[in-house]
A and B are shown apart, each in its own frame.
Chain A
């Protein structure tokens, strides 16, 4: 295919008008006849036995239709991952974190429901609690879920000859890093509207990234078949990894079952912060061996990660941190050891980067340190280890395309990194510096849901020739609908305006895995393309009948079938579709296609296996200005180069990168869930500040297009890699500006100020000593 109609074009969001006009319906906008309003009673204590719970006064309050507790649930332990089922819809006999669901009320309005919560009497017997994952592993620490040393999942892996690599190394570095707990802070809080259906099933309107997959978990929790649950995912107000399985959805279902009426529950912002799925905090001990020429001879890492009080996705996130970066560079000798550990804190889950971002902070900080020690520049040391196209990593990951090296060069060139670092202009108390970091990621991950991998779509062409595409993936605001429409229109040869991408309704949509692991564009996009290919086949067959020629003599463009040898002979899709329908008993043209990648679920023991059809790479450069008087760090310039396989929509790619960088800047400099004895001290957007319009620089974006052999039109993903390198790029820039290396996030003004003062005190006292 030489030229594209829609691929590579700056197509505005196809559903932008709905969103810009206020017409878009989000779950929080859904109103059903007879709908009740629910509220959840959450634990005020971090660890306590529930001695007694009295709901009678709440039930007696006029306007209250039901109060539900553990006794109203099937009482089946469940969880997002079948290996770690430690969830109950409402606390069984003890609470494990502040914010855990204990009961819920359904009432005629929210106010009445809130008043009823106050009337529920609970008697507790407090239990000793543990909050730090390292402490939680100590013998004698209180057990959160009864697991030995609170370890939910240990992880270990070794490949190559690590000991020899370290013995023969020219330079060995060893450091401790800490990445903190941060909140996804999407603008729409978690919510559910659930309607009970005759026969015991439910229709659930959910803002969820995994509308299909969640039904497997919810079926178990509710004691019904997944097929009895219909999930509708309308417009979704941001997720970033947090909106996977959530008890709020099930609490609404239990109340709906008990009252026989639809129930709506919407988290307050505070509830969303104390009981959401924040990022997994990690203690990372990293040791690396380097050769004089900059080659990475070996890597050894030990990670302790906080799981929180029940298991969301911390175990695979910890595992990801242990070894995903092994395919960022050409590592040969690696050893990793990791633990996901129960603590009496809010359960932790996926947040853009899925562990890879945590490890990238440590790795890319250490690489900069090594470059300095070895007298290499930050681009060169990375380039010497960069993964090329066709590379197969030590873990069996098959890198079909990589422009890692090109992204390093482009980021460096755009920013003037090499000429401007260490000499960036200083003014008064302000010091400027530049820093680089690179990143990799997957585009899909068979390890996440080993049952199956892939995606599919169904095309229905109505009598007017317009096409509706059904799929089971998930647009959570990242622009997937537009990308899918572009892919569908291009592959089918339809006008973009003739293509509608349906919202996900599991009653009609195929089973899609949803949005995670940066899989949407690559795997979801291939599912769309395969459906479109099948649709094209059908319309060409109809065209062949119409023209009385062979199907091979025809092609499609702009919603018409034409004869290749004589393009003036053409017929609109609508004419063919109408004829088809009226000659097939009213059946519209329906086509379906599926993509099944040859990915491999990693061997449980060795972790060997190609988990993704495509791998992405990128490099960022940050320029910071540090005020040495206040410790305040401002990011004043930012450059990002990404290997995207093929740019389906450069404008949306920029949006993803700018948003990812913004989130990374927030994490690095501003955001922290300050927790004392298991209580989050800043559960509002006033005290938990995310970047505003004045906190961010412009981000200069660059996209390299090596055209991947597996992605749709060669495209790979962008969501998570856009954030992964940000903390290290900023930390490296701060080092360039003031010569102090920060190994703990966030790098707040207070920490910078203290470090600057400590250094001054040290240099003064050593001067005195002399």
Chain B
């Protein structure tokens, strides 16, 4: 059975390592500040007993005040999982750091989020529209798309 690690415990450990990085945490997930995202992700991947080497999925949700990007991580060795979220309060041109350098599986998923939600990712090797054609106006999955 894949054990879903407690967001609170991991959040406490990460807070010791990177003070100020955790915005909130609960049993199911933890929310990280977007500036610390890359450091936290690297630490989650490299720490031996966490060892999150498999990125299951990246999703973005549009809550009207902010965008929330959800990273779902699993460790194949230890068979445990964790949910890390980050928020972006910009509406016009939101930017987040990309995790492609850690997990290549993020490449197409981040392009999809850029295409459908409009969130750009820094240092992504090929950030352009994935499903819709060049010249399509708007980002359809946003809640304020007509």
Bound together = no
